[in-house]
Chains A and B, each alone.
Chain A
Amino acid sequence: GQQLNQSPQSMFIQEGEDVSMNCTSSSIFNTWLWYKQDPGEGPVLLIALYKAGELTSNGRLTAQFGTTRKDSFLNISASIPSDVGIYFCAGQLSRQLTFGSGTQLTVLP
């Protein structure tokens, strides 16, 4: 089956720093999505990308759909304490989402 490699697995950053995480796949996807999950809650959609090469921003978040359709990255600028959580990339082909293993982000004051 399809697998997504998401890195890094965890990050500890100082408040105000920028952070970057990425996902790569051996298969192509039609859509890339980035979700954030807080403990005990469902994943919340941050950004959706639909076309190869697409670069999309949502506030302090910026994500790109790789030109090969096999990768995507997410950048968070000027991190704040509420950015803490697990970030998942997800690739979509047909109606199924395949998730990466997640990046646990900790923001230190």
Chain B
Amino acid sequence: AAGVIQSPRHLIKEKRETATLKCYPIPRHDTVYWYQQGPGQDPQFLISFYEKMQSDKGSIPDRFSAQQFSDYHSELNMSSLELGDSALYFCASSLEGNQPQHFGDGTRLSIL
């Protein structure tokens, strides 16, 4: 079965640069979520979208923004990158209506 696809798998940036992470949800899933996982930490919710509209907002910094497109894929845009942004970034998708979230394999972002 098709899973959540994230790209790129690895990304290296320098401080103050920008980055864009992409997420392609499971087919027919209409809700997309973004999480950040620091080393040895549990995933922290950033933001979610349902039917291309932002639905919930968590601990997403103002330097980050995200959107969901008409084909339901989502992009997380990160600007003015800081050393502390180094982490695994996961995308998850689900069907609306309290259905369980399924995660991609993440993008490992390293800031030098």
Interface residues of A (CB under 8 A from B): 30-31, 33, 35, 40-45, 48, 50, 88, 92, 94-102
Q: Which residue of chain B has its CB nearest to the CB of A38?
A: B105
Chain A residues within 8 Å of B92, by CB = 42, 97
Q: Which residue of chain B has its CB nearest to the CB of A30?
A: B98
A45 in contact with B48 given A95-B56, A99-B42 (CB within 8 Å) = no
Residue B103 at the A interface, CB < 8 A?
yes
The number of chain B residues touching the other chain, given as a range, is 20 to 34
A95 in contact with B50 given A41-B105, A43-B43, A100-B42 (CB within 8 Å) = yes
Chain B 24-44 near chain A by CB (<8 Å), digits 1 or 0:
000000010101000001111
Q: Which residue of chain A has its CB nearest to the CB of B46?
A: A96
Interface residue SS majority, chain B: strand
Chain A residues within 8 Å of B45, by CB = 96-98
Chain B 61-103 near chain A by CB (<8 Å), digits 1 or 0:
0000000000000000000000000000010100000101111
Q: How distant is the Cα of A45 from the Cα of B98 in the complex, in angstroms?
A: 14
CB distance from B70 to the nearest CB of A (A): 20
A41 in contact with B58 given A31-B98, A99-B42 (CB within 8 Å) = no
Cβ contact within 8 Å between B42 and A42: no
Cβ contact within 8 Å between B56 and A99: no
Chain B residues within 8 Å of A102, by CB = 42
Closest 9 CB pairs between A and B?
Answer: A42-B103, A99-B42, A48-B100, A42-B105, A95-B56, A96-B45, A43-B103, A95-B48, A42-B106
